[in-house]
DNA sequence: AAGTGGTCTAGACCACTCC
DNA sequence: GAGTGGTCTAGACCACTTC
């Protein structure tokens, strides 16, 4: 038995057709909320694209684009000849271009940061290559301890190119690095990151309150702006009992 | 100084306009190859979308869609008022819905699999919830050791729902699990996965040829088909000196 | 002012699935 | 055969960047 297709048109009565927010985005964000809160239940079939367009006074490509956004997020599945359905599986938000600081904030946890060191130094060969600057360029090296509710969670090491030489300890203890960068108009567009594991080195076990030689979850990241300039390179390690990376993968 | 925009139209002379392969896909895949091999260098600016469409005899939306594919992959950056540029950063392929077996194959390494155990058993409460079946349902539990060039790399544990009760050790030692599933017409559409770290447990250190209590990189995954049915649930652990997860993140 | 990408329209034909 | 999504066309207007 197949159920009737659903379309809660009442959610879309007051679309703003003149403002700066794209119509497809207004549709997809309301639809996403309706799915996440359960107004549209898992497994429900949506009405077809043309019919939705007629009800909303929109062309099919616009409706299609809105739906595609949620297909890409893994909330909807489209099948030719069948229709569009809400996915049955729970979907977690993808690994995004955010910092640990923002992740924690979103979880309702108030992160604190202790700056362990903040120094300017000439780039050695490895760092110069990483940041794509000349050897000997004065770069900024930061080492921070990030805690959540008083419990140490991660040791964060970052290298910054010379343009950020004026960042202070006060900045870093008040806000996350990505927040500071964004306030300067820096937009991170692309990042390459690698997740791995290793034992604690040096003082990491003390900082993270772990036995010496414990396993750590590690993440290395190089972040670029729109023009391909390196904005930061980080080598971070996390307490694996307190932190992990979750994501939802969607097949193309 | 800004350079002239480029468009190697000669790469697109023999588009197949009648076959089953979409035009936008033909464009984007050829363009991707040209970028990856360096025919179009990093930082190059592409011609504008309308001009490309005219040269290729295509409408702008089709050209736009082709370009969008590569923007989503992080190979191109678009800026309003400026144009479309090849990203300066190296881009690694994203974490995809593939198995370790396929990852290794793609890297030119021939993986081998030893089945450590293959058993049918009634689902306990935790497994039943994971696989979304009734408690006591006969499920299949697999434990495998995956090696590359003779070196043990990972211990793979999977739970499968009852419909796969006929999978044999011979199947599993010849092919990857996902390959076997695909051969049965099973398409995995969505997966939730979590990456973490922990110490070795039980016999893992022996299997992976590591000291007892060494760090392991772990990945848990629940994979769903189009209809939201659970296809497999896996708990895998990897030797962190031989394996890590790399990906490129692209800001929306 | 000129050029770029961002959005949107109103259609069209096709492939696939189900009955 | 009817209904669905997948692709594609040929335009339009707008916002943003550069000159």
The shortest C-alpha distance from B24 to chain A (Å) reads 15
- Residue B121 vs residue B101, higher pLDDT: B121
Single out the residue of A156, A99, A158, A162 nearest to residue A132, CA to CA. A162
The set of residues, in sequence order, having a beta carbon less than 8 Å from that of B113 and lying 6+ positions away, is B101, B144, B145, B146, B147, B172, B173, B176
Whole-number average pLDDT of chain B: 89
Nearest residue to C5 via alpha carbon and C1': B80
Residues of A in contact with B77 (CB under 8 A): 189-190, 226-228
Say if the Cβ atoms of A228 and B42 lie within 8 Å.
Answer: yes
Is the minimum distance from the CB of B25 to strand D below 7 Å? Answer: yes
Tens place of pLDDT per residue across chain A (252 aa): 456 889 898 899 888 988 889 999 999 999 999 998 889 998 899 999 999 998 999 999 999 999 999 998 888 999 888 999 998 776 665 566 667 777 777 777 788 999 999 999 999 999 998 898 999 999 999 999 999 888 999 999 999 999 999 999 999 999 889 888 888 888 888 888 899 999 999 999 999 999 999 999 999 999 988 777 889 999 999 999 988 888 888 887
Question: By three-state DSSP, how is residue A214 classified?
Answer: coil
Question: By three-state DSSP, how is residue B221 classified?
Answer: strand
DSSP assignment, residue B6?
A: B
Asked if A245 and A220 count as a contact pair (C-beta separation under 8 A), the reply is no
Helices and strands in chain B, H and E counts: 8, 10
Q: Is B1 a residue whose pLDDT tops 50? A: no
Q: Is B47 a residue whose pLDDT tops 90? A: yes
Minimum mean pLDDT among A62-76, B14-28, B83-97, B149-163: which range? B83-97
What's the number of CA atoms in the CB half-sphere (13 Å) around residue A206?
3
Q: Which nucleotide is nearest to B84 (CA to C1')?
A: C5
pLDDT (0 to 100) of residue A56: 92
pLDDT (0 to 100) of residue A1: 43
């Amino acid at each position: 038995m197949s159920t009737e297709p659903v379309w809660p048109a009442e959610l879309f009565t007051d679309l703003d057709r003149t403002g700066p927010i794209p119509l497809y985005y207004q549709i997809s964000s309301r639809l996403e909320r309706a799915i996440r809160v359960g107004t549209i239940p898992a497994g429900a079939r949506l009405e077809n694209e043309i019919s939705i367009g007629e009800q909303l006074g929109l062309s099919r490509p616009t409706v299609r684009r809105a739906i595609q956004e949620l297909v890409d997020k893994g909330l909807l599945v489209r099948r030719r000849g069948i229709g569009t359905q809400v996915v049955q599986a729970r979907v977690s938000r993808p690994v995004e271009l955010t910092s640990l600081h923002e992740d924690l904030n979103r979880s309702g946890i108030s992160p604190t940061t202790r700056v362990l060191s903040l120094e300017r130094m000439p780039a050695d060969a490895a760092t110069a290559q990483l940041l794509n600057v000349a050897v000997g360029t004065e770069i900024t090296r930061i080492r921070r301890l990030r805690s959540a509710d008083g419990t140490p969670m991660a040791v964060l090491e970052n290298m910054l190119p010379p343009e950020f030489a004026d960042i202070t300890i006060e900045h870093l203890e008040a806000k996350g690095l990505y927040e500071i960068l964004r306030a300067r108009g820096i937009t991170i567009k692309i990042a390459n990151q690698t997740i791995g594991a290793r034992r604690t080195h040096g003082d990491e076990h003390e900082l993270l309150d772990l036995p010496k030689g414990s396993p750590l979850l590690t993440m290395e990241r190089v972040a670029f702006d729109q023009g391909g300039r390196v904005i930061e390179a980080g080598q971070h390690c996390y307490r694996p009992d307190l932190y992990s990376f979750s994501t939802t993968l969607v097949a193309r």
